[in-house]
Structure 1
């Protein structure tokens, strides 16, 4: 699936028996990039995505489109995998990486027609990436990352084009609040951040909540204390975390128990009462106000705990049990090992409703800093898209805070790098200089696309940017509202250095992989050879080694 069913058909190989040529590989990669390119820019319109099963999604996020694509063309799949690597590594810059890769493939096609060899093209691309990455570190701008306003600038730059001005400001504010809450000594620990999507409300109902939010509606987790018997909120609560069931084990495969007398029945009942009382006495004995149990809690236990004023929560998911341990300082243990030393402390444990969903919010120790980001929306899809964009903000802020390095956005950094690469290419003697120059041209695709999608004449905008950079202003970028050239750093249009560096590397790698492919060789699973015994290992020349899915590589065995 892609931006349209027709686009998907163009990228599909289908049932062809032949394999794609180099020209077809280049074309597939270019078309994939063009589909994603249409999402780049602050005023990009939403796209309707229709999957093979008929599911409809609305998005203007390039990463969202890539995630939902189902491709059968091997070259397009390679570009997609590299882009997904960008998303996994840094959480942002996926659209830029794919657009740059598509531009590099387009330039490679022209260079091949001019007689430049694939080896020289890939060499030039490698030189360009190395030079660009080296130059990037020299083009960083100094900002005070202790200033929340600067962090909001970075977050706003990341989500520009996803919402209007007020929506962008709202998202940036929530992202900064969450990252500040989980930052410790310049490091951002995502293990202290829980993210939940809850439909049935406005996008503006999204919130960052101090503490751990446990969604009682989408998991088996359930408050099992009798309705109305206990308060909805506990303050300064002692929390017990039990990593087993508060129930009586039954023999496996036994359908019934035969009792020969009433006395035996009474002894069985007495045994059950003793076990249940032991459970309750243990929990109450450590001073617990709330108990979270990883498995089931039998009815007699839950009612006795309620009588003692203890809130009982059963079937808490294991990952949430460990988050509770981080939030409260407690330790998940079997009930027999429960002591005061293994209990945790929560500032409050509160049952509340968020839209149609019941949740339990555990606000733990302030020094542990567990927070939850709750993403809201009228539908599950809207809530999911909100989560996706805020996740991008979280990653961008993490990189900016930890690396303490940002570069100007609004096309400024791409024009500065293009200028440097053209100067670098002029000092080369071989035909690889043509590939370096082509890389510089492709970098300017970013400001050109920004101008196009904002209703600005791209040629005029690019000429003005080049003039500003020629005059020594390497932070000159486009004001996408007015179309004028401004100082991007002064305007707060900032991006993490690492995102740009990774996008350049991913784009160069994807393009080089496809340019190097001369042909694809279908892999044989066995060799048809009359009279040969196939039940033992092949000798020299047999196809016995996996190539891990790369179509241009042929596995072979080594002769002795």
Structure 2
């Protein structure tokens, strides 16, 4: 049994006491990682405390978040982690499903190997099963109206359920749909139109969606200069200038000091600097700009002169934000010499606000290139980051659902249906590949089994009831974790994008097949040139070449013997 808390220095290593066969070591490494994920990250479990190797305490129930921080040295377990990383980076959700399925596929493969099934037959059977499952997934798609915001909220709630309480889940689902709807254009969702900022120091429920592009003023090393008259907090119908250089005085290279022999020399230097600063300020005001964003620093005299003219100056704007401003406002990032009325852009409003301890500027009012910004709040930076992670997952799911126009029932309904389909498919196959396809079907049912365990249901009874419901034609029957019963997932609004499910199954099958085909673990050192090819090696019981240094690498059947 694996403890539900992940303690300091938690690791999965490649060390064994009895030197088992290579395939057995590999299978158990993958299974061990999947077991940690299953017991620690049950899909409807509670938050877990993670103590990292540097003593930092993290509380999370997100699979990708914990895997990012686990200390894993076994190369096979790292391959399984790669599945999770790719799942998270490509589709934003389904991490736990992918790892659980990969681990169960390895467990089933171990059983088949002990029964004498050759690894090639297992790999071929898994490949056939994954291909057939990918084709069969289309049969479980649910037709919905993607103009219906209630349906989109159901998809977002399915992503968050089990990772937040009920009110928090509803709040995040509403914010996710509000954000995606704001940037959707003709059935396409462009993430480049979303700006995400984490601002600690407030309630989780203070997270908000703003129309416009948010610039974090605290990222600048200096404050906005306000003379006695004060700069306005809001600019309407603002003209925007973007400067892609430092507004300072050029300093000659190789000169560390300036020698002044008289007061006249000092005065001349002062006049020179003042002329440069005034020319910078005059160029900006002559362009008609109300607000200037500079990618580098702005010297204080320039900022003061601009403030006297009523121009808001923001220095050290991040380059990605500068590009977003350019796309949204129509302005061009140029040098001060190139700045003119032809290179500036416009915004409906530029509004300076205080959000907790952070000063922000919201640039809004774009039509063609609408931008929205999501402010993730929380009492601590970690809470704000977890909120961001959850909403990012929702954004991915909604994007895939809207663009692909394909969703499938959740709650284990799709996995049970696929398992039933694969068992039928297996009967038509000759050879031992049939056993591997049936094993693949059994592995798919680990998802509803884990759901049942984590919600307090009897997993055996739950699986039997699901099989019976699907046999009777209820293809959307899954587990309702709130009522602890089998129900129609489409009616209950438990829905997942088809692409997330398809990728999780394909990725798990691919990595399991790769590991199954490994027949030897070889430790390779970097010292290749000092030995003759035909010298003796010290071989262990598994046939692996042992060395005091080097890294274990997997050598597959395709390399020969």
Residue in structure 2 matched with residue 499 of structure 1 by the alignment: 500
Q: How many Å separate the matches in 2 of 1:422 and 1:19? A: 32
Q: How many Å separate the matches in 1 of 2:264 and 2:9? A: 77
Deviation at 1:161, TM superposition (A): 0.6
Runs of 5+ consecutive residues of structure 2 not aligned to the other structure: 534-549
1:230-256 per-residue CA deviation (whole Å, 9 max, x = no partner) reads: 111112111111111111111123222
The more displaced of 223-232 and 329-338 is 223-232
Residue in structure 1 matched with residue 430 of structure 2 by the alignment: 429
1:371-429 per-residue CA deviation (whole Å, 9 max, x = no partner) reads: 11111111111111111111100111111111111111111111110110000001112
| TM-score normalized by the length of structure 2 | 0.91
Deviation at 1:265, TM superposition (A): 3.4
Question: What are the residue-to-residue correspondences of 1:371-410 with 2, within 5 Å?
Answer: 371-410=372-411
> CA contact under 8 A between 2:238 and 2:350: conserved in structure 1?
yes
1:32-61 per-residue CA deviation (whole Å, 9 max, x = no partner) reads: 011111355553021111111111111111
In structure 2, the CA distance between the partners of 1:6 and 1:431, relative to structure 1 (3 Å rule), is farther
Residue in structure 2 matched with residue 4 of structure 1 by the alignment: 6
Residue in structure 2 matched with residue 243 of structure 1 by the alignment: 244
**Count of aligned positions:** 541
> CA contact under 8 A between 1:200 and 1:377: conserved in structure 2?
yes
> CA contact under 8 A between 2:351 and 2:363: conserved in structure 1?
yes
Q: How many Å separate the matches in 1 of 2:192 and 2:220? A: 20
Residue in structure 2 matched with residue 552 of structure 1 by the alignment: 555
Q: How many Å separate the matches in 1 of 2:21 and 2:373? A: 48
> CA contact under 8 A between 2:58 and 2:382: conserved in structure 1?
yes
Q: How many Å separate the matches in 2 of 1:113 and 1:32? A: 21
Q: Secondary structure of 1:76's partner?
A: helix
What is the root-mean-square deviation of aligned Cα atoms in Å? 2.5
Q: How many Å separate the matches in 2 of 1:227 and 1:516? A: 75
The more displaced of 419-428 and 306-315 is 306-315
Deviation at 1:176, TM superposition (A): 0.8
Q: Secondary structure of 1:336's partner?
A: coil
> CA contact under 8 A between 1:476 and 1:486: conserved in structure 2?
yes
Q: How many Å separate the matches in 2 of 1:331 and 1:126? A: 52
1:50-95 per-residue CA deviation (whole Å, 9 max, x = no partner) reads: 1111111111111111111121111111111122111111111111
- Tell me, yes or no, if structure 1 residue 32 matches structure 2 residue 53: no
> CA contact under 8 A between 1:40 and 1:450: conserved in structure 2?
no
1:473-524 per-residue CA deviation (whole Å, 9 max, x = no partner) reads: 2111121122222211122111000000000011111211211111111223
Residue in structure 2 matched with residue 284 of structure 1 by the alignment: 285
Deviation at 1:220, TM superposition (A): 3.9
Q: Secondary structure of 2:209's partner?
A: strand
> CA contact under 8 A between 1:327 and 1:369: conserved in structure 2?
yes
> CA contact under 8 A between 2:416 and 2:467: conserved in structure 1?
yes
In structure 2, the CA distance between the partners of 1:108 and 1:17, relative to structure 1 (3 Å rule), is closer
Residue in structure 2 matched with residue 537 of structure 1 by the alignment: none
Q: How many Å separate the matches in 2 of 1:499 and 1:426? A: 28
| TM-score normalized by the length of structure 1 | 0.91
Residue in structure 1 matched with residue 537 of structure 2 by the alignment: none
Question: What are the residue-to-residue correspondences of 1:476-515 with 2, within 5 Å?
Answer: 476-515=477-516
In structure 2, the CA distance between the partners of 1:128 and 1:288, relative to structure 1 (3 Å rule), is same
In structure 2, the CA distance between the partners of 1:305 and 1:528, relative to structure 1 (3 Å rule), is closer
Deviation at 1:295, TM superposition (A): 1.6
In structure 2, the CA distance between the partners of 1:64 and 1:244, relative to structure 1 (3 Å rule), is same
Runs of 5+ consecutive residues of structure 1 not aligned to the other structure: 533-546
